[in-house]
Amino acid sequence: MDIALGILGGDAVNEHLACMAPGGRHIGLPLLGAGRVRPVMSDPFVLTEAAAAHELLESRTNVGKIVLTFEEDTTR
């Protein structure tokens, strides 16, 4: 794998490193907490649009995490 997000520590870190591709990166939780690494988010979907969100996921064309919300997002 190219990137491993390490939230457990301990032996899990060694397991991540063993699976790492050459040049891969292990990102520890402290980097996330410090705001140094932020996940890429796709456009949010309202829960009633879950089927459309799943179709996007299956199409493998999205960039970032697909987010379902409970309320209509008026910014998109």
Rounded mean pLDDT, 63-67:
86
- Is the pLDDT higher at 1 or at 51? 51
Residues 28 and 48 placed together within one structural domain of the fold: no
pLDDT at residue 2, as a whole number: 76
Rounded mean pLDDT, 46-54:
93
Residues 44 and 62 placed together within one structural domain of the fold: yes
Asked if 19 and 25 touch (Cβ cutoff 8 Å), the reply is no
Residues 27 and 60 placed together within one structural domain of the fold: no
Residues 46 and 74 placed together within one structural domain of the fold: yes
How many whole angstroms separate alpha carbon 15 and alpha carbon 19? 7
- Answer yes or no: pTM beyond 0.75: no
- Look up the domain containing 49 and give its range: 39-76
Residues 74 and 51 placed together within one structural domain of the fold: yes
Residues 27 and 8 placed together within one structural domain of the fold: yes
Residues 44 and 73 placed together within one structural domain of the fold: yes
